[in-house]
Amino acid sequence: MEDWAEIRRLHRSEGLPIKEIVRVLGVARNTVRSALASDGPPRYERAAAGSIVDEVEPRIRELLAVYPTMPATVIAERIGWERSIRVLSARVAELRPVYLPPDPASRTAYVAGEIAQCDLWFPPVELPVGFGQTRSAKRLPVLTMVLGYSRWLLAMLIPSRHAEDLFAGWWRLIEGLGAVPRVLVWDGEGAIGRRRGGRTELTGQCQAFRGTLGAKVLVCRPADPEAKGIIERAHDYLERSFLPGRSFAGPAEFNGQLSDWLEVVNTRPRRALGCAPADRIAADRTAMLTLPPVAPASGWRSSTRLPRDHYIRLDSNDYSVHPAVVGRRIEVIADLDRVRALCEGKIVADHQRIWAAHQTISDPAHVEAAKTLRRTRNGLLRPVSEPEVQVRCLDDYDTAFGVSTGQGGVA
């Protein structure tokens, strides 16, 4: 390589003839002629050696011509191949595209404000949720959403995959974004809907939710991860960048650390964009729909008559209600943080939402009020002052049964 470069320099720059270059560099005349005739640097090219697959290649082509997707293991069986399967598989991989129609991948471009991909991420961690309990990833999903144009990432931990919790968390993400993407893409999540007959079938709750937002919800086809590749890459990034080296004392701390991390991540440049999501989020929000004037119905809502034990059950936990409204109809309203009960517009219970399972949450004021009401009711049913009752003379019983007594005893 050095001789080739120097020969061309001496001839083109210094103007030396071939004879003089031979004398100066001490190389052969044919070497100088070859260097001046070639446009590129010399390189060693090894003579191609034959392969043990060459002799069976015609038979491989015959099989691929009939059945282009035939696996290499089946081809090896058909042709009686007894050598290494790796050598045969490599040759089959080279020949197969000749017999298959081309399958070019399309490049997807996103318009500002058009689309957002949503999914649930199950982090491989166990979080303490109080009362000596921990929850694994399968029971503590993280709701994630990525905007297609700006790649702005939003995420938060929610208590469960129930529709009530999912839509409450989804609305909180959209409300925090400050705008509504026009199209929301989901995988086949049970609370959202499913793909059937080539069409999207949404649940009633999802229809009500998207109707309030005025947006469109699409459900991807099964086994089609490329349709939501942005959110899948975001999940991989969360596992590789957010989780390592972190510990969490509970769900609140998890969400706190996640929120702080997202503020930093959304300012980092993306190679696919050539800029950071923070540089595009303003244009993305401007092109989106505005937030609805009324928030969509989300969270847990039910109406029931308060039983005598003055407790209501929500997500396997029992919460106390003021016993003064026992037997009356109450409305239970719960979100990701609080559990409330109202009777005729008045709050009769307000508890923090518990993420542990099978617990009884009692307000001391409710317990004391129940004791007072029980004492009062018992006093009404069992008076302290008993009415006077006439005492009958015992001689009347003796007369009724024909029994007479004398001074010395029974006659």
Place of tokens 């649930």: 120
Band the pLDDT of 159: cuts 50, 70, 90.
Answer: very high
Closest CA to 315 of 135, 171, 144: 135
Q: Can you tell me the distance from the alpha carbon of 336 to that of 108, in angstroms, rounded to the nearest whole number? A: 36
Give the pLDDT mean for 120-140.
88
Band the pLDDT of 188: cuts 50, 70, 90.
Answer: confident
Specify whether domain 115-287 bears CATH 3.30.420.10: yes
Q: pLDDT per residue over 7-56, tens digit each?
A: 888 887 788 888 888 888 888 888 888 888 877 777 767 776 778 888 89
For the chain, the domains span: 2-37, 54-99, 115-287, 300-381
pTM above 0.75, yes or no: no
Question: What contacts 333, CB < 8 A, 6 or more positions away?
Answer: 299, 300, 301, 340, 341, 342
Give the pLDDT mean for 273-284.
94
Q: DSSP per residue over 31-100, as a string?
A: HHHHHHH-SS-----PPPPP-TTGGGHHHHHHHHHH-TT--HHHHHHHHT--S-HHHHHHHHHHHHHHHS
Q: pLDDT per residue over 228-271, tens digit each?
A: 889 999 999 999 999 999 999 999 999 999 999 999 999 999 98
pLDDT of residue 378: 67
